[in-house]
Amino acid sequence: MEREKAEKEFEEYREYLHFEAQRLASYIRLYHHLHERMKDRLNEINISPTFFQVTIDALFTAIVLCIDKLFGKRSERGFFNFLSFVENYRSIFSIDELKRRKSFPNDHWMLNRQPITIQRIENDRIKIQQIESLSSFKLRRDKSHDHFDNEYFLDRSKLGGDIPMKRGDLSHIVHTMLDILNTYSAAYDGNIYSLGPLNINDVDRILDILHKYGMRK
């Protein structure tokens, strides 16, 4: 693949990957936030328990499916494939290419960086593999959220016992996505992304209004 074509593909790839990572990060943040608000707004949530329970359940299903799409080794697009692309076209991430692309002078501070090496790419693969719950999310997807497994279809309580997951791993997943995306985006042209939160205050505003209304009754 010629340089210009590889550059165009990378620029498109990172934009779409950022979009999907942002969507997953938003699902995770809202999922966590609703659980947190149960500590101080449980009575308000229970005014409409069906809505909130269905929302939390739908968010978890979306999280399971998105995680498997973004981190599944067989996914045609995702972080493993992204790292393979970087490895195959590593030349476009060189410091000299960054200098050319941005017209930086020789002494520009952005050029004072470690080059992208095969070892760095491999370390990022290992970083993904060390997220303990990835295998649990994949099993949940395969056996319940995307396909019906007869054993778990007939006894949903077995899911939690047989396929445990750590909620803390969700935050780890968000950090890993951002770190990998920004490592190669910064090496390419100095641009970095954020996975900024959606407007959580929307949920808080509703719960606080319900709280105030309830206090007046």
* pLDDT of the residue at 216: 47
Alpha-carbon gap, residue 14 to 185, rounded angstroms: 7
Tens digit of each residue's pLDDT (9 = 90 or more) over 96-115: 999 999 999 888 888 888 99
Tens digit of each residue's pLDDT (9 = 90 or more) over 24-41: 999 999 998 998 888 888
Alpha-carbon gap, residue 145 to 48, rounded angstroms: 25
Alpha-carbon gap, residue 179 to 194, rounded angstroms: 10
Alpha-carbon gap, residue 164 to 207, rounded angstroms: 31
Torsion of the alpha carbons at 97, 101, 103 and 108, rounded to the nearest 10: -60
Tens digit of each residue's pLDDT (9 = 90 or more) over 9-28: 999 999 999 999 999 999 99
% of the chain at pLDDT higher than 90: 46
* pLDDT of the residue at 151: 64
pLDDT (average), residues 184-199: 87
The candidate with the shortest Cα–Cα distance to 170, out of 13, 31, 46, 56, is: 31
Least confident of 4-8, 65-69, 70-74, 164-168: 164-168
pTM: 0.85
* pLDDT of the residue at 152: 62
Q: Concatenated DSSP letters for 7-23?
A: HHHHHHHHHHHHHHHHH
Cβ(70)–Cβ(177) under 8 Å?
yes
